[in-house]
Structure 1
Amino acid sequence: MVAKIVLWRHGQTDYNAEGRFQGHADIPLNDTGRAQAHAAASVLAGFGIDHIISSDLARAHETAEILSERIGVPVEKNSLLREISVGEWQGRTREEIAALWPDQLAAWFAGVDMRPPGGESRSESAARVTAAIREIVASAGEDETLAIVAHGAVLRGSAEVLLGLDGDDAGYLGVMANCGYGVLTPRRSSWVLRAWGISYDPATIA
């Protein structure tokens, strides 16, 4: 069994800064996001990471590459680690969505496990990413440390599934800020949450 998994959210993008729903839109990091990634990578470099696996979307892959360059471990892409698909909401702000789908947006923010028009539900995306993480863990070597670089909604959802916190009352964990990370360690048939939502503000970088 692996020693631990580090679940790391990508750095900030312009869509994040503008409050736009990203979904599967392939948006790169902005300068703030790159600064966040470098700050977090300086800490994660001391974790003894053996493998880095990232979503294939640019914002996650670029974040992962910044850690890769620091520690000399290549990045493996996995499209199953993509963010939740938000369908027709993709690229729109909350205000724009509220004008077109007010009831659906209200249900979304109330935590209802619903599908945005043309998208997938939180439970569907969490199941997809959890399955990918379990496969990654199963193929890893004994006592290895894995960094899984992905997206806020699906990292929270999959962590809750791994911790047994999913179901009708899901939502125990908060969505991590850009470049926040969490750490889980294994037990025989479950996982222990060691850290969640640790993040780095580029304003603090000297």
Structure 2
Amino acid sequence: MEVWLVRHGVTAHNQEGIWQGQRDVPLTPEGREQARRLAERLARLGFVWTTLYASDLSRAEETARILGERLGLAVRRDRRLREVCVGDLAGLTRDQVQARFGDYVERSRRDPWNARFPGGETLAELYERVWAFLSELGDGRHLVVSHGGAIRAAVLGVLEAESAVPWRIRLENTSITRLHFPEGTRGGGYVHAVGDAAHLEPGF
């Protein structure tokens, strides 16, 4: 089983450095163009896709819809693919988070996997729901449009590197992260690529 995890296209919150979490922030025109460029890249590969899934937040669903229209795939929504719930941090900049929630920032540095976002989830809880989704996929090549935090949690879980700092994994909008499960999710998995955004390079 192969899973190609795609981060959604860019939003205004992404561009302004604002935590969005599960806020339903739409794509910008640039985000839609990013999704179209990715769709063309995937179409040129000529792969057969088993399924196309997306988070039910509009920025992921619209990205998936653009891919699906080009690849001839219907989008299936699953709320388990949502971004981590950042609770009270939603709508704040990083400087504002540091000023208002310095205790959380310190806890997250010491234990990023289990530090709870104020009023929200932990990354461990995020991983559990993402993994529950992955474990239900069957054999084949699956295209899954999700969010930066969810994709990072999946990668660290596969690598059994939960103590690592997830935010050090750089994921451009519409980047591809490929996971391979030779014997299904119960047999463990491998990370083949992280944050591949070659389609956004000039002249690609």
Q: Please report the TM-score for the alignment, with normalisation by the length of structure 2.
A: 0.88
Which residue in 1 is equivalent to 2:55? 55
Paired residue for 2:76? 76
Cα distance change on mapping 1:79 and 1:172 into 2, 3 Å: closer
Shift of 1:12: 0.4
Please tell me the residue identity of whatever aligns with 2:24: D
1:48 CA drift (Å): 2.4
SS of 2:177's equivalent in the other structure is strand
Distance 1:108 1:31, change over 3 A: farther
* C-alpha separation in 2, matches of 1:126 and 1:18: 26
**How far apart in 2 are the matches of 1:62 and 1:111?**
34
Which residue type is aligned with residue 40 of structure 2? S
Aligned with 2:144: secondary structure? strand
Structure 2 unaligned segments of length 5 or more: list them.
none
**Alpha-carbon shift at residue 185 of structure 1 (Å):** 1.8
Separation of aligned partners in 2, 1:44 and 1:196: 16
SS at match of 1:178: coil
Give the match for residue 30 of structure 1. 28
Look up the equivalent residue of 2:197 and give its one-letter code: S
CA root-mean-square deviation: 2.1
Superposed displacement of residue 132, structure 1: 1.1
Instruction: Determine the C-alpha separation between the residues in 1 that align with 2:60 and 2:93.
Output: 21
CA contact (8 A) 1:160 1:170 kept: no
Residue 142 of structure 2: aligned partner: 146
Counterpart position of 1:130: 131
Q: Residue 155 of structure 2 corresponds to which residue in structure 1? A: 159
In percent, how many aligned pairs have the same letter?
Answer: 32
Go from structure 1 to structure 2 and tell me whether the alpha carbon gap of 1:39 and 1:110 turns closer, same or farther (over 3 Å shift).
Answer: farther
| Alignment: residue pair count | 198
User: Could you list the per-position Cα deviations for residues 1-42 of structure 1 after superposition, in whole angstroms to 9, with x for gaps in the alignment?
Assistant: x3x110111010000001111111000110111111111111
Say if 1:116 and 1:77 are closer, same or farther in 2 by CA, change over 3 A.
same
Matching residue of 2:5: 7
**Structure 2 match to 1:178:** 173
C-alpha distance in structure 2 between counterparts of 1:170 and 1:155, whole Å: 13
